[in-house]
Amino acid sequence: MPIGKPLEGTYGVIAEFADPQELLNAANAAREAGYKELDAYSPFPIHGLAEAIGFHRSRLSAVVLGGGIIGGFSGFFMCWYANVIWYPLNIGGKPFNSWPAWIPITFECTILFAAFAAVFGMLALNGLPMPYHPVFNVPRFDQASRDKFFLVIQARDPKFDIDDVWKFLESLGPREVNDVPW
Amino acid sequence: MSSVQSTQESTGIARFQVPALIIGVIGFAVTIFGFVSSIDAAMHAYLTSYLFWLQIVAGSLGVLCLQYVTGGEWGILLRRPLGAAARTMIIMAILAIPVVIGAKHIYPWTNLEFMREDASLRLKQGYLNTNFWMIRTAAYFVIWILWAWRIRILSLKFYEDRSPYIDLRRRGWAAAGLPMIVLTLTFFSIDWMMSLEPKWYSTMYGINFLISAGLAAFAFCTFFLSRLANVPAMSNILKPLHFRDMGNLMLAFVMLWAYTAFSEFLLTWYGNIKEEIPHYMARQEGAWGAVSLALIVLHFFLPFFLLLIRDIKDRPATIGAVAIVVLVMRYVGTLWSVAPAWGHFHYSLWDAASLLGVGGIWLFFFIQQLKGQTIIPIHETWVEEAIREGAVKING
């Protein structure tokens, strides 16, 4: 069994499991053992897995809210500026600042900016697109898109000690444990 | 499953039944006194209160149909309260009798002199006349009662033999119930509410009332379940994610309500046509203007922002409080829809009395309908999944 020294540039240690329940149990066990920098890979969403690897609510909702508020104000400002300052026209005797008529634009801009904030904020926060990821250095990792389930404990975990992590992951009854080199 | 077994324990709802009836009877007695002493004011008040409670009942039937068609896990735990509310349509039909008898104190089109004066009103007489109105009203209630009880009977059959054929028939009734509820509530709102201002019309009125009813039903059932979450028998079943689902759907209803209500206003405002604007002019001045502002702030913005926050949706105490805000504003919204037709803002004793009277009597029959069964529909197909769905642990 190749229990090596901590390699320079190890991303983490990966364990392969045969079914989703094993992965879920392993992830829960790892979190309970005090590991924090976990990641899990599976061919399909597993209910409760995100919680098991200690997934916390992201700041995305705040980003989306900010986008929505900026969008709402810009939409209203655009209508107001065009109709009151830039090109005031008397339409049917209505006041220049016909604010009820600006509401649909304001609403649509709120949605548009919030949606943009959601998409780009999501990409900024999760680091996608990611052209290189070390887990693909593990030969069997392509099984993660078929029928195998993987748990990674990352080297940046404060508790990370490669020998301990190996022993710990092997104690969870995986099919295989591997180092993940950078 | 152990969590299902525990639903056999008492939830303690029944203890509210007699107090509800007492309050209802007292309120109703005061309202009857109002009918005798100042018939017009009391009839107006009664119509408003009645329409508020009817929205919960009719809305429940609509949401129930939606739930049986889609079968989403969000609503399986809502089926019993929704069904019980929908079946109280029988008592709502009986409570509608004072409005039908007193129609001439409520609806200006019952006055033939008034109808003959105006060319456009003369043309509307073929639709807006007392006999045809009564026939339509009777038809709505017969249809609603038929649907609510047909679904109930099929459900009871399904619980007995769990035959997928019965389930399919129930879904068929529910599917047909969707266009049914859209059409009946649209015409009902035209007949019972929009016709208070016979010269005025709005094509947005029906859909807004339909959504209002759905929102009222949703808020009521959410409030109901949020109270039950503290009951020992239910606390291990009703979980944060269930309430988050209900909160999200309530948010959708709040937004739809604002969307249709504002669209109606915007089109009228922009069109600026003499027949259409009096409706809003009456609602911009004086106390009605303040009520309009309250609707914008408290019926839309407040629940909208509160329901965006997960911590509020996940906790029974807070989601229950939001549901109460929505219900109160739904009553204010109903008042705002109908009462300006009778002039300046005026809230009388009869308003409060009839609100409690109709509500107390309705609540008595609602609880009656819930009795003798579990609050969680333990015989339904996906109920265990629906219970588990809410129990996932939430971090952060």
Residue A62 contacts B, CB cutoff 8 Å: no
Cα–Cα distances in angstroms (integers) from residue A139 to residues A142, B36, B217, B257, in the given order: 7, 88, 56, 55
**Predicted local distance difference test score (pLDDT) of residue B396:** 36
Contact yes or no for A100 and B308 at CB 8 A: no
Q: What's the mean per-residue pLDDT of chain A?
A: 88
Question: B264: distance to nearest CA of chain A, Å?
Answer: 11
**Predicted local distance difference test score (pLDDT) of residue B54:** 98
- Report whether B322 contacts B306 (CB < 8 A): yes
Residue A66 contacts B, CB cutoff 8 Å: no
- Give the residue from chain A lying closest to B268, CA to CA: A100
**Predicted local distance difference test score (pLDDT) of residue B380:** 81
d(CA A119, CA B247): 24
d(CA A131, CA A154): 19
**Predicted local distance difference test score (pLDDT) of residue B9:** 63
d(CA B382, CA A11): 43
- The structure's pTM equals 0.84
Say what percent of chain A tops pLDDT 70. 96
pLDDT band at A8; cut points 50, 70, 90: low
Cα–Cα distances in angstroms (integers) from residue B307 to residues A62, A114, B85, in the given order: 15, 17, 24
d(CA A144, CA A142): 5
Contact yes or no for A100 and B392 at CB 8 A: no
Question: B393: distance to nearest CA of chain A, Å?
Answer: 7
Contact yes or no for A94 and B272 at CB 8 A: yes
Comparing B151 with A160, which gets the higher pLDDT? Answer: B151
d(CA B117, CA B119): 7
What are the chain A neighbours of B396 within 8 Å (beta carbons)? Answer: 56-57
Residue A95 contacts B, CB cutoff 8 Å: no
User: B185-224 burial, b if ≥16 CB within 10 A, otherwise e?
Assistant: bbbbbbbbbbbbbbebebebbbbbbbbbbbbbbbbbbbbb
d(CA B63, CA B84): 12
Is 50 exceeded by the pLDDT of residue A3?
no
**Predicted local distance difference test score (pLDDT) of residue A166:** 87
**Predicted local distance difference test score (pLDDT) of residue B4:** 46
Contact yes or no for A48 and B393 at CB 8 A: yes
What are the chain B neighbours of A92 within 8 Å (beta carbons)? Answer: 272
Please compute the mean of the pLDDT values over residues A65-78 and round it to a whole number.
Answer: 96
Q: For A110-157, give the secondary structure using H, E and C.
A: HHHHHHHHHHHHHHHHHCCCCCCCHHHHCHHHHHHHCCCEEEEEECCC
Residue A94 contacts B, CB cutoff 8 Å: yes
Of A51, A56, A92, the CB nearest to B272: A92
Contact yes or no for A104 and B266 at CB 8 A: yes
Question: A181: distance to nearest CA of chain B, Å?
Answer: 31
What are the chain B neighbours of A55 within 8 Å (beta carbons)? Answer: 395
Residue A96 contacts B, CB cutoff 8 Å: no
Contact yes or no for A57 and B396 at CB 8 A: yes
Q: Is A86 exposed, middle or buried (0-12, 13-18, 19+ CB in 10 A)?
A: exposed
Q: Which residues of chain B have pLDDT under 70?
A: 1-9, 390-396
**Predicted local distance difference test score (pLDDT) of residue B333:** 97
d(CA B126, CA B112): 12
**Predicted local distance difference test score (pLDDT) of residue B374:** 81
**Site from A36, A58, A103 to mutate, B interface, most B CB atoms within 10 angstroms:** A103
